[in-house]
Amino acid sequence: MLRALLAGLGLGLFVAAQVGPVSLLCIRTSARSGFRPGLSVGMGAAIVDLLYATLGVLGVATLIGVAPVRIGLGVIGTVVLIVMGVRTLHAAVRIRLGAKVPDEVDIPSHALRTGLIVTASNPLTIVSWAAIFGAAATASLLANAQDAALLLVGVGIGSAAWFAGLAFVSSRAGRRMGPRSLAVVDTVSGIGLVVFGAVLGIRTLQDAR
């Protein structure tokens, strides 16, 4: 039982720690808007990680094998990431011009929704969790339903812990940043989001052929 829980913690931390669009959003939101909005972005991602991990355990990930479902999620994810990237770059330009920039993730509830949408719209997430749990079963970490439940609990805690730490560090750093430094953060985040969106779009187009 303890081994399953610790394995889940490790998996949750490992998956959450990978550089991706949600990490960029969490860093950018925490630096500009503070700990609570940044944490909300991360909690949205952690919720989806837990949900997709559960679907992976239940074998529902085979739905991603249905081309229309996979392609539909890919299109949604591409649009979401590129739109958010362009908005972030626009914010960077306005900050450099000295304008006050209202942000859709200033409010924690909006930030939570953003984290949910960005993570859920990536079809590769559920595929990754399905593969991870397949490996866990092979390694005899999922001997019964109780082990599976503990593994999922560990995943949720591990993912949430990573994003909480990332939001805390980024918010503390953000307090020491001036407008120009925040503009740099927005520029890097915006470019990263557009790149992630473009990569997902290319993969979706290739998949649709």
What is the mean predicted confidence (pLDDT) over 161-187? 88
Domain that holds residue 69: 2-81+102-177
H-helix segments, the chain: 2-17, 21-33, 35-58, 67-96, 108-120, 123-138, 145-175, 179-208
- Ranked by mean pLDDT, the top range of 100-104, 118-122, 177-181, 195-199 is 195-199
> Is 183 contained in some domain?
no
Residue 169, pLDDT score: 95
Q: Quick one: tokens of 2?
A: 């303890």
> Is 203 contained in some domain?
no
> Is 142 contained in some domain?
yes
> Is 36 contained in some domain?
yes
> Is 77 contained in some domain?
yes
Query: Is the separation of the CB atoms in 30 and 37 below 8 Å?
Result: yes
Residue 123 has pLDDT above 70, yes or no: no
Residue 143, pLDDT score: 59
> Is 143 contained in some domain?
yes
> Is 206 contained in some domain?
no
> Is 185 contained in some domain?
no
Q: How many domains does the chain have?
A: 1
* pLDDT higher at 119 or 144: 119
User: CA of 137: how far to CAs of 57, 140, 189, 200, in Å?
Assistant: 9, 5, 37, 29
The whole model's pTM is what?
Answer: 0.76
Query: Is the separation of the CB atoms in 167 and 93 below 8 Å?
Result: no
Q: How many CB atoms lie within 10 A of CB 120?
A: 21
User: CA of 110: how far to CAs of 29, 34, 35, 38, 116, in Å?
Assistant: 11, 14, 14, 11, 10
Query: Is the separation of the CB atoms in 129 and 56 below 8 Å?
Result: yes
Coil, helix or strand at residue 111: helix
